[in-house]
């Protein structure tokens, strides 16, 4: 029985080795993709590889790389480190760890950075002023649920944010929001800031909704205060928004 157990263990290890060594392009033939997803230029194996082009709806991602973590298999999980390379066509750059099990899908240690001007292109209405700065999103932990999450913990931060008024760039100061999960929706609420901007949002894969209001403090740049002073009374009230993806 002892030798039988050793033989079975060796066979299982050998089969796992064969599985993860399969070419990723071959394995992809047995994993039908959703109709809104297309891939091109798949290289490497199931164990470690890359996708040259990943198209999700109208968003193109280039040079997506993955590497499986073998120790997770001992816990009954399939875990992979995912990296989105710094490519000219990518709207963002970042990395994350994805864990799959029979019960749930988790994301850990997610870090994504993108230029504010690139993200603004996806806004329902264009910004009346040029923008600059970088947006950093960090998720320590996320668990997939309905409609999008069971749990989530993280932060989104605007770094070096500025708005151009005339010939001058005015700093937007420190803008950061905590990310959580509320009734299955990803939620974010903006922290205190010198702009007097308050905002909250809930999002799922289908869209996002929320509200915002701006009441600049005396510490806000004079130009920002002057712009806000020109807004009609209705523009100073809380504004609701809704976006469908």
Across the range 166-183, mean pLDDT stands at 91
109-123 pLDDT, tens digit per residue, is 999 999 998 888 777
The strand pairing partners of 59, in sequence order, are 56
Report the alpha-carbon distance of residue 47 to residue 72 in Å, rounded: 13
pLDDT of residue 223: 84
Residue with tokens 């091109």: 40
Tell me, what DSSP letter sits at residue 46? S
Answer whether 184's CB lies under 8 Å from 149's CB.
yes
Distance CA 106, CA 100 (A): 7
When pLDDT is cut at 50, 70 and 90, the band that residue 99 belongs to is very high
Spatial CB neighbours of 198, under 8 Å, sequence gap ≥ 6: 190, 212, 213, 214, 215
Q: Minimum mean pLDDT among 12-21, 47-56, 159-168: which range? A: 12-21
- pTM value is 0.81
| CB atoms inside a 10 Å sphere around CB 128 | 7
Confidence band, pLDDT 50/70/90 cuts, at residue 185? very high
| pLDDT tens per residue across span 134-158 | 999 999 999 999 999 999 999 999 9
pLDDT band at 22 (very low <50, low <70, confident <90, very high): low
**Does residue 184 come out as left (phi exceeding 0), alpha (psi in the -120 to 50 range) or beta?**
left
Cα dist. 210→47, 157, 195, 199, 234 in Å?
41, 18, 18, 7, 17
Angle at 161 between CA 240 and CA 174, to 5 degrees: 80
Could you tell me which of 112, 176, 110, 177 has the C-alpha nearest to residue 144? 110
Helix (H, G, I), strand (E, B) or coil at 58: coil
Confidence of residue 16 (pLDDT cuts 50, 70, 90): low
Q: What is the pLDDT of residue 26?
A: 65
210 Cβ contact list (under 8 Å, min separation 6): 199, 200, 201, 202, 240, 241
Beta bridge partners of 176: 157
Overall average pLDDT of the 124-135 stretch: 85
Contact of 174 with 167, CB cutoff 8 Å: no
23 or 208: which leads in pLDDT:
208
| pLDDT mean across residues, the chain | 84
């Amino acid at each position: 029985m002892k030798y039988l157990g050793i033989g079975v263990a060796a066979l299982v290890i050998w089969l796992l080795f064969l599985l993860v060594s399969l070419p990723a392009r071959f394995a992809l033939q047995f994993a039908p993709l959703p109709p809104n997803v297309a891939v091109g230029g798949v290289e490497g194996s199931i164990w470690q590889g890359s996708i040259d082009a990943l198209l999700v709806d109208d968003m193109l991602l280039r040079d997506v790389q993955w590497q499986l973590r073998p120790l997770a298999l001992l816990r009954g999980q399939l875990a992979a480190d995912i990296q989105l390379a710094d490519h000219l066509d990518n709207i963002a750059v970042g990395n994350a760890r994805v864990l799959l099990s029979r019960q749930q899908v988790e994301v850990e240690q997610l870090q994504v950075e993108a230029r504010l001007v690139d993200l603004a292109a996806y806004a329902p209405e264009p910004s009346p002023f040029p923008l600059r700065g970088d947006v950093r999103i960090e998720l320590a932990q996320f668990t997939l649920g309905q409609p999008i999450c069971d749990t989530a913990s993280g932060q989104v931060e605007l770094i070096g944010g500025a708005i151009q008024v005339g010939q001058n760039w005015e700093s937007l100061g420190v803008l950061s929001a905590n990310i959580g999960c509320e009734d299955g929706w990803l939620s974010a609420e903006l922290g205190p800031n010198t702009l007097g901007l308050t905002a909250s949002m809930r999002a799922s894969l289908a869209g996002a909704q929320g509200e915002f209001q701006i009441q600049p403090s005396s510490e806000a740049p004079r130009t920002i205060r002057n712009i806000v002073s020109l807004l009609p009374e209705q523009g100073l009230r809380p504004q609701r928004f809704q976006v469908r993806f």
